[in-house]
Amino acid sequence: MKIHVTDQAGENHELEGLEGWRVMEVIRDWGLNIKAECGGALSCATCHVYVDGEWMDRVGAPSDEEEDMLDSVGDVKSNSRLSCQILMNEELDGLRVTLAPSAAKD
């Protein structure tokens, strides 16, 4: 299972996504520039990504709580998601996301 991540510097990375893992965990464990301060507890919004247009439907819509959390970043777009709220599964094999500037470590 693969995910394709474009980092803040515009570089592309192909990562091995594990079934049942959060997309945030995959990106973090590969050492890309994602802060993910709260470890996936939907309390920080520092795992913000933009989901590639053609994947939007399969990823689904954010919950109300996730929308509230997205208020705490200044670079939200219509395809914004918190990557700790997207679970890897077969359906998402090939997923493409871009790391938002606000997800960067200090």
Ligand X SMILES: Cc1cc2nc3c(=O)[nH]c(=O)nc-3n(C[C@H](O)[C@H](O)[C@H](O)COP(=O)(O)OP(=O)(O)OC[C@H]3O[C@@H](n4cnc5c(N)ncnc54)[C@H](O)[C@@H]3O)c2cc1C
Binding positions for ligand X, rule: CB under 6 A: 38, 41, 43
The span of 4-12, 38-46, 52-60, 92-100 binding ligand FES (CB under 6 A) equals 38-46
Contact 95, 26 (CB under 8 A): no
The residue among 9 and 41 lying less far from ligand FES, judged by its C-beta, is: 41
Taking CB under 8 A as the rule, which mask of x and - marks residues 22-61 in contact with another protein?
A: -------------x-xx--x-xxxx---------------
DSSP calls for 58-95: HH-PPPHHHHHHHTT-S---TTEEEGGG-B--GGGTTE
Residue entry with tokens 């996936």: 40
CA distance 31 to 33: 7
Contact 18, 84 (CB under 8 A): no
With CB under 6 A as the contact rule, the residue among 84, 92, 95, 99 that binds ligand FES is 84
With CB under 6 A as the contact rule, the residue among 23, 27, 45, 86 that binds ligand FES is 45
Q: Which two tokens stand for residue 87?
A: 């679970």
For position 76 contacting another protein by CB under 8 A, the verdict is yes
Footprint on this chain of ligand FES (rule: CB under 6 A): 24, 36-38, 40, 42-47, 69, 82, 84
